[in-house]
Amino acid sequence: MFGLEKIASKIEIPPEGVGADLAIPCFREDPEATAEKIRALKNPLFREVVVKGRYVNVSFDCAVLAPLVLAEVAAKKDAYGWNDSGGGKKVMIEYSAPNIAKPMHMGHARNNAIGHALVNLYRANGYEVITTNHYGDWGMSLAKIMLAYGKWGNRAEFDKDPVRHLLGLYVRMTKESADNPALEDEARALFRKLEGGDRGLHATWQEFRDVSVANFERMYGLLGISFDVKNGESFYTEFIPRAIEEALAKGAAHYGEAAEGGEGKPVAVNLDAWKLPSFLLQKSDGASLYGARDIAVVKWRLEHYDVEKIVYVVGHEQELYLKQIFKTMGLMGYPEEKLAHVSYGMVTQGGKKISTRTGNIVFLEDGFEDAIARAKGIKEVGIGAIIYNMLSMGREHDIAFSWDAAMSVQGNSAPYIQYAYVRAKAILEKADAPAPLPAPYTHPVLEREAALLKLVAHFPGVVWQAHALEAPHLIATFLNAFAQEFNRFYASVPVLEDGEGRDLRLALVAASAQVIKNGLWLLGIAVPERM
């Protein structure tokens, strides 16, 4: 960081009007002393170091910055902006986690977009990432679908579009069981038979799982996503009894009172001391619950992978539940500090929450097809529009998906940023490669050239910060501002005009294309060759 590595985490980019390129807050330090230390570096890049209140403001000499930064972009290419701060440490990131027998919908696009972007950010910051997808392929929800298929299923409709047919049956079962509670009892009985190893039910379960996974893989192919570990809930069921026994043995869980007239005792975790709700691992009848299953999952992962951290990309509505699970793992003697939840807000459509139970959904596959059609058949633009729309706002906020915003060519959209890339590539196709710039650069650097150059130099810092804060929207925000600045540069500077400054201008165009490409890659968005 230009000799400022020790204070890199404090460095800020000041707002317009400050007249500086870097600002270093000194609320606990003497700003004059900090300024002297920076001046003592005698870095030719620092044209001016001045104290303004409690800040030290640093201004760059563009004659030094231009050859330094543009040469680095040309050398690193697709790795420009990356760093090795992670030191090769391993992390596991779980995301997506769709339920089988239900198609992914537009709400899943946000989870997939955030998870994929985080994977890319961790890797760009020097981490080794193990990706995992935890399919929801077990439990009562699936039992209801299997029961519904037995009652109302149509094989011809299933063969035509299996997952949508199963979803329709699930919606019907939800409505029917509201008026007929006996259906709930039938579903529980079916699930007990499935858990008991009934071959016919298992064959049906396997078919439902296979067609669902095939549907998911088509969606992941369009998103450019792949997973290293793809175990579903069913994989971990054999480990649940041992997890419950261990929780009891280590005092993290205890037996409750047997239900009146019953012999079995429930198994519970009491978290009152940590001001968290207590919860059950096992019911009186011996049936395990979600908590026990998730504890078995965490236990298995920690036993099989030596990782610094396991990151769960899950909606904010699960925040309390995950705190319960993480605390329970700590009580069992596992490293609770290795478990992290990256939450996000929900996606609404038409002002309503997306819900498979009510049928208020737009299938992700349909959304992709619609987006590609709106993008005149250019897949990278259509898919990119959806992904960017899911990432352009801080993940803690709920978002209302909008086609007008997603496909806008006026700004803050993937098509707008992608068009800047295509424009830059078109310019480069008309010219020979620029000659390396002398250091220091000997010609004047114009205002628009300097503004774009400084954004190119700023990109690595944004990559570092977006990872540190687990905030992909910072990359999206930067790219939108970058595309705006590139368009201003393009409109006011005669890039291809011969004479003084041509090599600098062409090098800036090449660097701009590279920054846009790398930034979009971090978001999981491909660049098109034409628009």
Q: Where in the chain is the domain with CATH 1.10.730.10?
A: 65-80+405-522
Q: Where in the chain is the domain with CATH 3.30.1360.70?
A: 5-60
Measured CA to CA, the distance from residue 169 to residue 151 in angstroms comes to 9
Say what the pLDDT of residue 262 is: 47
The string of pLDDT tens digits covering residues 456-512 is 999 999 999 999 999 999 999 999 999 999 999 999 998 888 888 999 999 999 999
Pick the CATH number of 5-60 from 3.40.30.10, 3.30.1360.70, 3.50.50.60, 3.40.50.2000: 3.30.1360.70
Q: Which CATH superfamily is domain 93-348 in?
A: HUPs (3.40.50.620)
Structure tokens, 340: 């992290």
Q: Where in the chain is the domain with CATH 3.40.50.620?
A: 93-348
CA distances (Å), origin 422, targets 168, 426, 474, 480: 43, 6, 22, 15
Say what the pLDDT of residue 9 is: 65
Q: What are the φ and ψ backbone dihedral angles of 129, each rounded to 5 degrees?
A: -115, 130
CB atoms within 10 A of CB 366: 14
For residue 261, pLDDT beyond 50: no
The string of pLDDT tens digits covering residues 42-65 is 999 999 999 999 999 999 999 999
Taking a C-beta distance cutoff of 8 angstroms, is the pair 170, 128 a contact? no
CATH topology of domain 65-80+405-522: Isoleucyl-tRNA Synthetase; Domain 1 (1.10.730)
The string of pLDDT tens digits covering residues 397-446 is 999 888 888 898 899 999 999 999 999 999 999 998 888 899 999 999 99
For residue 260, pLDDT beyond 90: no
Taking a C-beta distance cutoff of 8 angstroms, is the pair 38, 4 a contact? yes
Structure tokens, 34: 């900090």
Say what the pTM is: 0.92
Measured CA to CA, the distance from residue 54 to residue 14 in angstroms comes to 13
| 436 secondary structure, DSSP code | P
| Distance between first and last Cα of the chain | 36
Measured CA to CA, the distance from residue 363 to residue 106 in angstroms comes to 6
Say what the pLDDT of residue 3 is: 60
